[in-house]
Amino acid sequence: MNKSLYSSVSLPLIVAMSVVLGLQWALVSFSLNALVERYIGSRLEHDADNLLANLRLNGTGLDLAEQAEAPVHRQPWSGHYYQIISGEDRIRSRSLWDEVLPEQAVRPGERMLVHFSGPDGTPLLALVSGYHKDDRSITVVVAEDFREANRILSTLRWLYGVVSLIALFLLLILTRWYLQRGLLPLKAAKSQMEALERGERERLDHDDVPLEVRPFVDAINRLLTVLFRRLRRSRDAAGDLGHAIKTPLSLLSRLENDPAVSNQPAFREKLNAQIEMIRKLIERDLGLARLSGGRGTGQWFFVENDVTSLIEVMRKVHQEKELSIRSTLTPGLQINLDREDCLTLLGNLLDNACRHAEDVVQLSMELNENGLTITIEDDGPGIPESKRTDLIQRGVHGEQSVQGHGLGLSICQEIVSDYQGSISLQDSAVNGGLAVVILIPPAYGKCKKPDDRYVPGSIGLPGGDVEK
């Protein structure tokens, strides 16, 4: 499942912060409500104590001094009310008009804040206090309209919710920014990987990456070291094998002067043909090895320099045929393909073309919106169309196919397949022989100008002009 690091971090963070902010919002709402109730309750306590101080008990009932009433207690529906109860006796503020506040039983010395509905259903916050005066139990209820307090509390809750959402949004932005900043060393590692692909370096530098990523980079470096060593041993073994075969090959060449061989012309001719084929294969592989030089894998293929050198190798290997090897190239272009793959691919195809050509071998490279097209043609006898499909299948070569084509073409087919390309065998419209056409998709066949870091390596071959 594809999942970005930002999503992996931000989703749990959103859930956790939403829970935390929700709990915090509930706590703040509860605290604000309690604070407002306590503030209003302190005023109600003062009013209740003032009413009790101005309350007189006589034989006719309860009597409250006029100065104990505040102006708001005389104004009908003012939002400030009181009610004093002692047995059957009851005193109510004129602000209640004909309404009666709900009764709440309390013991003397007890006080409680309660919410209930007042006139017209308005929410009230009431302080119910129990007293004992002149051997009588008295209950004083002082209430205040709670609508304005509710509006203020609702506004504060809404504002706090908005601020919390903004804080959550800013936190996500900061998280993304810090993640991007923390991943900047990985971008440097990506640039190093691209340089590794171009062959400009042989390992990754782990000093600039986070500590958590260093084991991963070290594992890549160890893998690269193993792969480079294996590749070097493979190349060295191929070169050593080529040199080792030269000595017994020279001894075999001298057998044509042996009386037992010279007396059998047909056998001698077949022997010389096979010896010559082995010699050319050795010269070709050693030439490609020298052309590769000491560079590691991952080098990009520089068209003008590498194709020119490759053609010189083919001219040297097939010098007795005096072939005209022509190329149509775009100067100064660099193909985004592995250099070793390109040398093997073009080396096999050019060698096949040179072995079967009469006079001319033509190599062309063309880049367009469809990708990179490589065409190698010769003016040889060609290959029957019925045998072309089997020719590029792995394992069909030599006597099983067309002499000298199959194995090299099957190797080329594997290389082209690695780059999601295609290879086809056609009739050469120019020379009348065989045309091998390779198409590499744009993702792998894009070209760009080589930069100043490229320095052509020494080939170690005789100089000579190459027809272009």
Type and span of the H or E element at 383: none
What is the rounded CA–CA span in Å between residue 175 and residue 203? Answer: 32
190 within domain boundaries: no
Query: Domain count of the chain?
Result: 2
Question: Measured between alpha carbons, how far is residue 126 from residues 11, 81, 122, 170 in Å?
Answer: 46, 9, 12, 43
Residue 342 lies in a domain: yes
What's residue 453's pLDDT?
39
CA 15 remoteness from chain centre: 23
Last residue of a domain, one of 151, 179, 210: 151
DSSP 468: -
Give yes or no for residue 455 having a pLDDT over 80.
Answer: no
Residue 209 lies in a domain: no
pLDDT (0 to 100) of residue 362: 92
**Final residue before a domain boundary, out of 151, 185, 212:** 151
Strand partners, 375: 364, 437
45 phi-psi bin (left φ>0, alpha ψ -120 to 50, beta other): alpha
Whole-number Å distance between alpha carbons of 432 and 314:
21
**Average pLDDT for 304-324:** 86
pLDDT bin (cut points 50, 70, 90) of residue 101 is confident
Q: Which domain holds residue 70?
A: 5-151
Return the CATH number at 386.
3.30.565.10
The answer to whether 41 and 127 have CB atoms below 8 angstroms apart is yes
How does pLDDT run across 324-374, given as a tens digit for each residue?
A: 999 887 766 667 777 778 888 898 899 889 988 989 999 998 887 788 889
Decide if 143 contacts 101 (C-beta within 8 A): yes
* CA-to-CA separations, 92 to 129, 145, 312, in angstroms, rounded: 15, 16, 119
E strand segments, 382-464: 422-427, 434-440, 447-448
The structure tokens 């394992």 sit at: 395
Q: If you search the block for the tokens 């390596």, which residue do you land on?
A: 457
Would you state the pLDDT for residue 132? Answer: 84
Does residue 127 lie within any of the structural domains? yes
Q: What is the pLDDT of residues 140-192, one digit of tens each?
A: 999 999 988 989 999 999 998 899 889 888 988 888 888 888 777 777 778 88
User: How many CA atoms within 13 Å lie on the side-chain side of 159?
Assistant: 7
Distance (Å) of CA 317 to CA 284, 290, 312, 322: 6, 13, 9, 10
Torsions phi, psi for 192 (to 5 deg): -65, -35
Decide which of 229 and 328 is more confident. Answer: 328
Percentage of residues in the chain having pLDDT higher than 90: 9
The band of 377, judged by pLDDT with boundaries at 50, 70 and 90, is very high
Identify residue 166 by its one-letter amino acid code.
I
Domain endpoint, select from 101, 122, 151:
151
Could you tell me if residue 46 is inside a domain?
A: yes
Q: Contact at 8 Å (CB) between 235 and 292? A: yes
Q: 129 or 249, which is more confident?
A: 129
Is 289 among the domain residues? no
Residues 213, 219, 225, 227, CA torsion sign:
negative
What's the CA dihedral at 377, 422, 408, 300 to 10 degrees? 90
Q: Which residue has the higher pLDDT, 234 or 187?
A: 187
**457 pLDDT band (50/70/90 cuts)?**
very low
Say which CATH number the domain at 48 has.
3.30.450
Q: State which amino acid sits at residue 41.
A: G
Which residues are within 8 A (CB) of 59 and not within 5 positions of it... i.e. 6 or more apart?
none
Whether 124 has a pLDDT exceeding 70, the answer reads: yes
The three-class DSSP label of residue 100 is coil
Return the exposure string of 403-420: e unless at least 16 CB atoms fall within 10 Å of the residue's CB, then b. Answer: ebbbbbbbbbbebbeebe
Q: Are strands 324-328 and 360-368 parallel, antiparallel or unpaired?
A: parallel
When mean pLDDT is compared across 52-61, 93-102, 219-228, 255-264, the lowest value belongs to: 255-264
207 lies in some domain: no
Q: For 65-88, what is each residue's pLDDT tens digit? A: 777 777 887 888 788 888 888 878
DSSP state of 68: G
CA 124, 130, 131, 132 torsion-angle sign: positive
pLDDT of residue 15: 87
- Domain annotation covers residue 208: no
